[in-house]
């Protein structure tokens, strides 16, 4: 495991404070799932406007579905990595002091065992009818794209220009304002409003820690940077903050 270290403040706040974790696509990179930006990213050579907007779906549902079916297939084949497992262990240890806010739609946090989770950008595993609004979980990769009502079903993810799921941002922002520590892992922090959550926490007194091998849009505005992969850094952090680790 890569050697990573954390400040005493981070460890102390994890041990006794309220913890908010914000994750992005980078935490699933070590499970073999592509991130969005950068080399080999999902948006490389692709136009998000053609694949991740309600207009694109109205114009060309087949192309949009092809993109999401491929992502559902890859996510189904992937397994949670050590970073996901560390966050599940942290929830288990902290209970109500813990909240995970994710921009990820792949379901790997849930499969690792996290339940106290706010999905800001929806889920690849929920399908919603564009006519009657009926929404349910559907893990079947060959699921029909037609609803019982005859309407067309779409992936239950948030597309560009759409509002976040009702109440999700409010719950996340409220938890950020009450947190003693905000851990941000695996996100480029350029998509708002998710990217604004660490700042909300920091202004209200939380210690903010960014776990990311690369610098990001918010790197200059966090209290602590951990330049490491989440699959190494998150287990190390959980280990260091567990009782009796000193």
Q: Contact residues for ligand OAD (CB under 6 A)?
A: 24-26, 29-30, 35-37, 41, 52, 103, 121, 158, 185-188, 191, 211-214, 216, 229-231
Determine which helix (DSSP H) or strand (DSSP E) holds 198, and give its type and residue range. helix 197-203
- Two tokens, residue 114: 């996290």
Q: Provide, rounded to whole angstroms, the least separation between the CB of residue 246 and ligand OAD.
A: 26
The nearest distance, CB 136 to ligand OAD, in angstroms, is 21
Phi and psi at residue 224, to the nearest 5°: -150, 135
Closest to 25 measured CA to CA, from 16, 15, 6, 38: 38
User: Which single residue brings its beta carbon nearest to ligand OAD?
Assistant: 26
Q: Which two tokens stand for residue 47?
A: 């136009």
Our CB check for ligand OAD shows the closer of 41 and 61 to be: 41
Dist. CA 85–CA 112, nearest whole Å: 5
Catalytic residue selected from 84, 109, 121, 145: 121
CB of 203 to ligand OAD, least distance (A): 21
Nearer to ligand OAD, 12 or 69 (CB): 69
Nearer to ligand OAD, 97 or 201 (CB): 201
**Strand 153-157 relative to strand 122-129: parallel, antiparallel, unpaired?**
antiparallel
121 catalytic? Reply is yes
**Least distance (Å) between residue 111 CB and ligand OAD:** 18
* Complex with ligand OAD: residue 46 or 58, whichever CB lies closer: 46
Residue with tokens 């990217």: 195
- Compute the distance between CA of residue 50 and CA of residue 169 in angstroms, rounded to an integer: 26
Mind telling me the catalytic residues?
A: 121
């Amino acid at each position: 495991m890569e050697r990573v270290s954390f400040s005493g403040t981070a460890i102390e706040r994890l041990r006794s404070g309220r913890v908010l974790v914000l994750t992005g696509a980078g935490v699933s990179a070590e499970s073999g799932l592509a991130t969005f930006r950068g080399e080999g990213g999902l948006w490389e050579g692709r136009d998000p406007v053609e694949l991740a907007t309600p207009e694109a779906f109205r114009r060309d549902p087949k192309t949009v579905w092809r993109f999401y079916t491929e992502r559902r297939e890859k996510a189904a084949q992937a397994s949670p990595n050590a970073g996901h497992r560390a966050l599940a262990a942290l929830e288990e240890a902290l209970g109500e002091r813990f909240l995970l806010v994710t921009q990820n739609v792949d379901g790997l946090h849930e499969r690792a065992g996290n339940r106290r989770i706010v999905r800001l950008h929806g889920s690849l595993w929920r399908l919603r009818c564009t006519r009657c609004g009926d929404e349910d979980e559907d893990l079947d990769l060959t699921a029909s794209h037609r609803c019982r009502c005859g309407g067309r079903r779409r992936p239950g993810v948030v597309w560009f220009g759409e509002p976040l799921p009702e109440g999700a941002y409010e719950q996340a922002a409220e938890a950020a304002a009450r947190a003693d520590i905000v851990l941000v892992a695996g996100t480029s922090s350029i998509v708002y409003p998710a990217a604004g959550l660490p700042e909300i926490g920091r202004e209200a007194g939380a210690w903010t820690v960014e776990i990311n091998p690369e610098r990001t849009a918010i790197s200059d505005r966090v209290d602590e940077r951990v330049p490491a992969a989440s699959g190494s850094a998150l287990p190390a952090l959980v280990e260091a903050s567990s009782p009796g680790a000193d």
